């Protein structure tokens, strides 16, 4: 199991291709995953992106886009370890601090992303009454 195993999800009431385009912007990646050198290993188009990461952490991260109702669930995953030179020396407290810092960053960026992209209608407004 990786030292850092982070999972987060945010629902965005917006058109899926619009959300996908925003996720594919490298500025978004850098803000979401600061201190990580990212290499795309799977571009899933409207379903998101998977990266290998190195730098402050070594492992993988992903943004998976799941169309749901009149929007998109933006799932963020980070599965990584401290770099080999730091991993052995790192106490549990250091890892917990890193997980906490990353959780705050993902939530902060996720909420700003949602505010920027969300349609101003309420969730469910565009659905047929049988689905609302």
What's the half-sphere exposure (Cβ side, CA atoms, 13 Å) at 27?
3
Residue tagged 């190195």 (tokens) = 54
Please determine, for residue 130, whether its predicted confidence score (pLDDT) is greater than 70. Answer: no
Residue range 46-92, pLDDT digits in tens? 999 999 999 999 999 999 999 999 999 999 999 999 887 765 556 67
Distance CA 93, CA 99 (A): 10
| Strand-pair partners of 71 | 68
Residue tagged 């250091």 (tokens) = 94
- Which structural domains are found in the chain, ordered by start? 4-117 (3.30.530.20)
State the DSSP code for 119: -
Residue range 37-46, pLDDT digits in tens? 999 999 999 9
How does strand 71-81 pair with strand 36-43?
Answer: unpaired
Query: 3-class DSSP state for residue 54?
Result: strand
Distance CA 104, CA 39 (A): 23
Question: Which pTM does this prediction carry?
Answer: 0.85
Residue range 102-126, pLDDT digits in tens? 999 999 999 999 999 987 655 555 5
């Amino acid at each position: 199991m990786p030292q850092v195993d982070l999972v987060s999800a945010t629902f965005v009431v917006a058109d899926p291709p619009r959300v996908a385009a925003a996720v594919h912007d490298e500025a978004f990646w850098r803000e979401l995953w600061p201190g990580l050198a990212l290499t795309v290993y799977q571009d899933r188009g409207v379903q998101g992106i998977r990266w290998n990461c190195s730098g402050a952490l070594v492992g993988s991260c992903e943004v998976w886009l799941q169309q749901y109702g009149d929007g998109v669930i933006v799932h963020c995953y980070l599965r990584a370890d401290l770099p080999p030179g730091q991993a052995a020396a790192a106490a549990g407290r250091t890892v917990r601090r890193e997980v906490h810092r990353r959780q705050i960053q993902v939530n902060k960026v996720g909420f700003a992303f949602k505010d920027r992209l969300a349609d101003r209608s309420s969730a469910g407004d565009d659905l047929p009454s049988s689905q609302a």
